[in-house]
Structure 1
Amino acid sequence: DALNLTAGIWGKLIDDYDAFCLTLVKLTKDQPLTQTLYWNHTDGHKVEACHTFVYAPMQGSDAFKYIDIFVRFVGLELLDYIKALESSYETRSKDCGALSFPKVWEEPGFYERVVGSVNDGILVNDPNGQILYMNENLAKLLGYSPGELLGKHLFDVMDEEGIQLTKKRLSERISGTEEVFDFRFVHRNGAHVWTRVSAKPLVDDDERHMGSLVSISDISARKKAEQDLQVLLNELEQRVQERTKLLTRANSELKKEVEERKSAEKRAILASRAKSQFLANMSHELRTPLNAIIGYSEILEEEMQSAGVDDFQQDIECIHSSAQHLLQLISSILDLSNIEAGRMELQSEEIYLDEFLSELRMMMEDMLQQSELLFIVEQQLDTMSFIADRGKLRQIIFNFLSNAVKFTLTGSICLRVRHDVDQAHIIFDVEDTGIGIHEDDIDALFSAFWQADGSATRRFEGAGLGLAIAQEYTRLMGGRISVKSKYGEGSTFSVAIPTWHTLDTT
């Protein structure tokens, strides 16, 4: 019943009221209990406190009349606690009427016993840092008895660094500064003692600054753990560096071994040499300067057009087109590398054929602006849609078309779309009237870094990557590429894509 009567009050003060009640139930007259609970501060935050519950029985009976609860807040707001305890005791004495019991705080040494029961070190110093009081726990922590340090200066248990920091803090304490910080004291034997310090100004009834009230906790174990952890981290870092050196050396030896094995086969040497040369000259790092060149050339072209100056127009266009060509070449090399590494993925989507052909027609119009070649589109199937990787399919067909434009001086180029019903494929043919290909060279067309004719390499731009990439893209989509050609008359390149899903939109 007593607990129920006080539930309204204690339920507001104590955060875990159930734990509080359980402690009271366990209390006996023979043994005080100590329990850590959290109080609810008026500003909303929680305050950790250590409670000591003391059973006070009625005279001649086992029933209790009241329970003394001694509370020590972590942070040691000691003076506020003692004042509150005294006020509470006086109020309770009035309520209890005729009850008579001694005022324990009037007994000699009461406050010393209270402070002595605190686990932390307690220190009181004057404004200049002279030690006015030190409890036994703190004195023992520093290797002294309490009486040895009374009247001494704080600086007597500090090193030079600590002295300078303390001078600054004592000065700030006068203005009312409260602090919580880590501090390193000097033990009597010269060893360093790491502590957690909570310090607040000490003032009299007239609010005059009288010094500092300080609580000090030993955190040597924590600091040692931090130091041990740092040692382990340093050792780990050293091991990582050693392993990195070993790995680098192993990689170097492995590279040397691979190069030696490659030298056993002439074809492997030639392929590796060609690939290494291209990859060395055209890497990711070239993209940034090339993009800058392209961007600045476009800016220069726009500014010259705005100013009506065309003296360097042709030169700027040459810079722009050359940079674009080089950027495209680098992209092709990187695409081929991604394919070989297995990092290329399909992005399948529904493609509407009419829209797709219009896109290809616009691309061809740009390529044929300076040409007299005739471009023809033949659609030999109903309007429909199909599922494929739009970007990769466009790149395959565009490669066929650009090769046709490159190797066809006069005549025409035809893009034909048809449907292989028996094998369920959509087929795109690119037929030209160009220089054609020798029959012996057709099988090697899709090898990387290869062109059918050395003279063609000199006469026409290209690195021999486009068809190799087109072949790999087609393979990823489950299709096939075929070539028909007669030297001197022209060629037909065909790509067949499976119609996994088609929709008749007529």
Structure 2
Amino acid sequence: MLRKNENNRTENTDYRELYENAHDPILIYSLPDLVILDANNAAFKVYGYDRNELIGLSLNNLSTDADAIKKNSKKLSEEKVYMKFETVHKSKSGKLIDFEVNATLFNYKGKLVILAIHRDITKRKKLEEDLINAKIKAEKSDRLKSEFLAQMSHEIRTPVNTMLSFTSLLKSELYDMLDEDQKDSFSLIESGGKRLIRTVDSLLTMAQIQSGNYEIKKEEVDLSNDIIRSIYESYKPTAESKNLEFRVIKGSENFKVIADDYSLRQLFTNLVDNAIKYTDSGFVEIRMFRDNSNDTKVTVKDSGIGISKEYQSKLFTPFSQEDSGYSRKYEGSGMGLALVKHYCEINNLTISLESNKNKGAAFTVTFPEKNVF
């Protein structure tokens, strides 16, 4: 019996040492009046009270929300459950401290009381608040950027479209009176205006995608008879003007997919536009086929200037171009392939490249079998 009592005293001493030396503040308070009966060293340090000041103090003197304290204590005493909640207390100096509280019922000197471990989460809450504020700020910035670009798009489109309309009208009215140089001048005005509108559209689309405001509409799309055919017909005159062989290879099979029509159309428009732009002689080819995994692939291949191995890692970065500066031979904003990459991602497609400098390029877009029917 004597040995048992000695063991109990040793055990109680060990628990007391753990309690006193715990890193987190621990409060023991009575029910239902919530008077602090005991506290550990960490509690005195964090709250800034001496032992004789803190012991006997009502928990309401520490809490910034007395109603929540009463509600949680009542629930704990009635339901006899372990509770975890967050609260805000104030120290003796008035400093507010965010706590994560783990509370349970506890037998203290023959009475049922509450033992609550308070973990200081002030830094975590501040970080969470900073993250929320940063998110709000970023969303506001994205919204303002989108609004600005939309407004700029309107401000640029309106006069440019007016200019293009009058240019087309003048050209048709005066065509028989113009010499070849004057006809070329009209063509330059038209191509320059259309290029400016395409650049504005690309900027606006890029901003929408990056801010998460680009809305996609997945639907049944006829890839071969609609999208590829219309792009082919649209770019055929441009290819012929450069004496390029422009061909589509697909066999007798039709290819229908589930995708966002607009982004898919823009994806292949950009690839074909680049292929023709960067090819001065030879061919541009669009090939559609199914591989051994039954995935549908569309390859846009050309015999153009190609892309160096060193540059390929930067290929899909916005505004990047292998040949940069005012001396560059080919025009462009550097957004085309960056948009292609984004268009692939929002449609759950993959894109790969095979190319060497001065040996042409082949971009292959893969549609998973589940996206094809």
TM-score range, shorter chain: 0.5 to 0.7
Change (3 A) 1:384 1:331: closer
Change (3 A) 1:439 1:501: closer
| Contact map agreement 2:308 2:355 (CA 8 A) in 1 | yes
Report the aligned-residue RMSD. Answer: 2.9
Q: For 1:310, give the aligned amino acid.
A: L
Using the size of structure 2 for normalisation, the TM-score is 0.56
Q: Shift of residue 347 of structure 1?
A: 2.2
Q: Map of 1:29-428 to 2, 5 A cutoff? A: 283-305=153-175, 308-311=176-179, 312-352=182-222, 353-379=224-250, 382-420=253-291, 422=293, 425-428=295-298
Change (3 A) 1:475 1:426: same
| Contact map agreement 2:297 2:364 (CA 8 A) in 1 | yes
Q: Shift of residue 409 of structure 1?
A: 1.2
In structure 1, stretches of 5+ residues that fail to align are 1-253, 259-274
Q: For 2:363, give the aligned amino acid.
A: F
Provide the residue aligned with 1:157 in structure 2.
none
Q: Aligned to 1:446, what secondary structure does the other structure show?
A: coil
CA distance in 2, matches of 1:412, 1:281: 40
| Contact map agreement 2:150 2:204 (CA 8 A) in 1 | no
| Contact map agreement 2:259 2:371 (CA 8 A) in 1 | no
Q: Shift of residue 284 of structure 1?
A: 3.7
Q: For 2:185, give the aligned amino acid.
A: D
CA distance in 1, matches of 2:202, 2:356: 28
Using the size of structure 1 for normalisation, the TM-score is 0.42
Q: Shift of residue 313 of structure 1?
A: 2.7
In structure 2, stretches of 5+ residues that fail to align are 1-132, 138-144
Of 327, 330, 341, 1:471 maps to 341
Provide the residue aligned with 2:362 in structure 1.
492
CA distance in 1, matches of 2:292, 2:210: 32
Structure ranking higher on relative contact order (CA contacts 8 Å, 6+ apart) = 2
CA distance in 2, matches of 1:299, 1:350: 39
CA distance in 2, matches of 1:361, 1:452: 26
Q: Shift of residue 491 of structure 1?
A: 0.9
Deviation sequence 1:6-55 (CA, Å, 0-9, x none): xxxxxxxxxxxxxxxxxxxxxxxxxxxxxxxxxxxxxxxxxxxxxxxxxx
Q: Aligned to 1:492, what secondary structure does the other structure show?
A: strand
CA distance in 2, matches of 1:313, 1:361: 26
The answer to whether the aligner puts 1:483 opposite 2:347 as a matched pair is no
CA distance in 2, matches of 1:459, 1:304: 32
Q: For 1:357, give the aligned amino acid.
A: I
Q: Shift of residue 384 of structure 1?
A: 3.8
Deviation sequence 1:167-194 (CA, Å, 0-9, x none): xxxxxxxxxxxxxxxxxxxxxxxxxxxx
CA distance in 1, matches of 2:342, 2:163: 31
CA distance in 1, matches of 2:363, 2:228: 17
Change (3 A) 1:361 1:283: closer
CA distance in 2, matches of 1:405, 1:454: 19
CA distance in 2, matches of 1:296, 1:482: 43
Q: For 1:373, give the aligned amino acid.
A: L
CA distance in 2, matches of 1:438, 1:285: 38
Q: Shift of residue 304 of structure 1?
A: 1.5
Change (3 A) 1:491 1:282: farther
The answer to whether the aligner puts 1:440 opposite 2:342 as a matched pair is no
The answer to whether the aligner puts 1:452 opposite 2:322 as a matched pair is yes
Change (3 A) 1:351 1:291: same
Provide the residue aligned with 1:266 in structure 2.
none
Deviation sequence 1:224-260 (CA, Å, 0-9, x none): xxxxxxxxxxxxxxxxxxxxxxxxxxxxxx99xx9xx
| Contact map agreement 1:380 1:419 (CA 8 A) in 2 | no
CA distance in 1, matches of 2:227, 2:154: 31
Provide the residue aligned with 1:462 in structure 2.
332
| Contact map agreement 1:381 1:419 (CA 8 A) in 2 | no
Provide the residue aligned with 2:4 in structure 1.
none
Q: For 1:484, give the aligned amino acid.
A: E
Deviation sequence 1:62-85 (CA, Å, 0-9, x none): xxxxxxxxxxxxxxxxxxxxxxxx
Deviation sequence 1:392-421 (CA, Å, 0-9, x none): 112111211111111111111111111235
Q: Aligned to 1:335, what secondary structure does the other structure show?
A: helix
- Bigger Rg, structure 1 or 2: 1
Change (3 A) 1:502 1:445: closer
Q: Shift of residue 435 of structure 1?
A: 1.2
Q: Aligned to 2:243, what secondary structure does the other structure show?
A: coil
CA distance in 1, matches of 2:260, 2:290: 18
